[in-house]
Structure 1
């Protein structure tokens, strides 16, 4: 029951954070915006940083699940990469992407309590990409996946900063070509 309540509350927080942003907002501000109390946020997430970690973890887990699901039915790695890009670069995802970078900035600045989040920003992608590679019948490429994460995040930042979407999409397509070309 508590786990279900936590998940429902997290969904409300995700919607609020994507629309309003959370940088500089106190737990009380977030609580007011989601129709709960700061005590309930503390009960379910432990701290503001715990809440931030839960937000990022939820969004990233959804994206990774889409990647591995696509890999189960895809013909090749290019299809997986292209599908994932289409999903994360979709304008409807921009608030969640902006939220990710908002929280990422706190992690990079070493905000107290973000150590666990820092450790979990890339490793889950590497692990799930290995599972996706297995589904595709190819050997995992951790260095290639790490490069893909960096390129994808960089291009998403370009989109958020107002770069022309067609130019950013062309850059990603070029990256896919480079990564999937026979060596």
Structure 2
């Protein structure tokens, strides 16, 4: 009789592979995952079926982490103007903690979306409309969620392409001021 699948082992391996992919990008070979987990390629294939199935599992786990992390940043904070919340979220999402998600999912959009995760681009856009609409409703701007999301996504692409943090942060502050003329500037990066 063969071994029975052990979900707790697969879950631990998936966490290690996800950590590796967030740190270095999604590999196009199995070997980086082998090195990151310390198990054989055969063991990874036993638990996940194929390299592509493991890659999809890694993407889904990373996406869940991103939704949790960014979702917490975008939630309404009682007693705080939502533009201040957005400013803090912006700095975190475009800083070291958020860049790993943006790099990996940008890589997916550019190279493999059709083969690994059909429909990812749509999902990666529409997932954020609800939290933004809820937050913006707290300042009477719920109808601005699509515009705010589009500007955020565009500024993230600009930042990725140019690395001009100061210019892009100023543009983000202009967005905040369009929502609330008294919006504070995003917190200093540090």
Q: Shorter-chain TM-score category?
A: 0.7 to 0.9
Equivalent residue number for residue 38 of structure 1:
45
Equivalent residue number for residue 123 of structure 2:
120
Looking at secondary structure, tell me which structure has more helix per residue: 1
Equivalent residue number for residue 87 of structure 1:
92
Q: Could you say what secondary structure the match of 1:22 adopts?
A: coil
Q: Which consecutive residues of structure 2, in runs of 5 or more, have no partner in the other structure?
A: 1-5, 183-190
Given the superposition, is the C-alpha separation of residues 8 and 154 from structure 1 closer, same or farther in structure 2, using an over 3 Å criterion? farther
Given the superposition, is the C-alpha separation of residues 159 and 74 from structure 1 closer, same or farther in structure 2, using an over 3 Å criterion? farther
Q: Is the 8 A contact 1:126 1:146 kept in 2?
A: yes
Equivalent residue number for residue 174 of structure 1:
174
1:148 counterpart = 2:151: no
Q: Is the 8 A contact 2:23 2:100 kept in 1?
A: yes
Q: CA RMSD in A?
A: 3.0
Choose from 17, 25, 29 the match for 2:31.
29
Separation (CA, whole Å) in 2 of partners of 1:56 and 1:128: 16
Shift of 1:72: 2.7
What TM-score do you get using the length of structure 1 for normalisation? Answer: 0.74
Deviations 1:110-133 (A, max 9, x none): 522422434421222112223434
Q: Is the 8 A contact 2:20 2:33 kept in 1?
A: no
Separation (CA, whole Å) in 2 of partners of 1:113 and 1:75: 40
Aligned positions, number: 171
Q: Which consecutive residues of structure 1, in runs of 5 or more, have no partner in the other structure?
A: none
